[in-house]
Amino acid sequence: MNIAGTLPSLSASQMAEIDRIMLQDFGVGSLQLMELAGHAVASFAREHQLDGLAHDKRIVVLAGTGGNGGDGMVAARLLTAWGANVSVILTRPVEDHAGIALHQLGILERWGIPLIDGSRGVPASIPEDTSLIIDGLLGFSLEGDPHGTAAELIEVANAAAAPILAIDLPSGLNATTGEIGAPCIRAAATLTLALPKSGLGVDDIRAVTGDLWLADIGVPPAAYARIGVPLSALIFTSQPFLRLSTGPTR
């Protein structure tokens, strides 16, 4: 499936294969990709959601235990370094995390960034002075409807006045089919990573994706060619972000 002209898109399984190829064939591991993704999210948030200034802005990051959560944690750290007042709401206790997500949490703890364990009680609401909510709850591997703490946090985020920036795709949206789960994040903007996910090309999902943008995380064209997805042209020759479509007016 093509989005925005001739730009190809990837299914969840194809994106997982790209992750494998980047490590095994190109020597770029998951931690490096997470840092690149998190930097893209933080930079996009500052430029496009915060009017170019992160200082003194209140930001709430919703973080699951997987890769999207880790991307959000990296973004939380960088936005903190740029002067924002950031807190992170987790779907599970810190000790339930593993691998690079646990590594990122350890960094946040050293930085003194507030971590809220949503599994012990989801906040009733997002603070009214919040400038931005970053959705890093669920990733492209989601199958079925969100449940548990993640589902509760989706409902709380959707009820907030602050705009939501979704990492890669809104939590609750099936990356391959575009099926909208119940509940599903209703984002003001979605920053999809590397290449768009196939589900983002389905009609009538802009109500949940908002404005759709693509971010560079350093995947070379040769990696896509190895899964039979050649690029007809280079994407990020002059800018790190590419606008793919515009969401509905809110």
Residues belonging to the binding site for (6S)-NADPHX are 67-71, 139-145, 168
| Per-residue CA distances from 150 to 29, 138, 240 (Å) | 27, 8, 30
Give residues with Cβ within 8 angstroms of 47, minimum separation 6: 241
Please report, in range form, the residues annotated as the binding site.
67-71, 135, 139-145, 168, 171
Q: Is residue 62 within 8 Å of residue 157, measured between CB atoms?
A: yes
Residue 196: cis peptide before it, omega within 30 degrees of 0:
no
Please report, in range form, the residues annotated as the binding site for K(+).
68, 135, 171
- At residue 184, φ and ψ (nearest 5 deg) are -145, 140
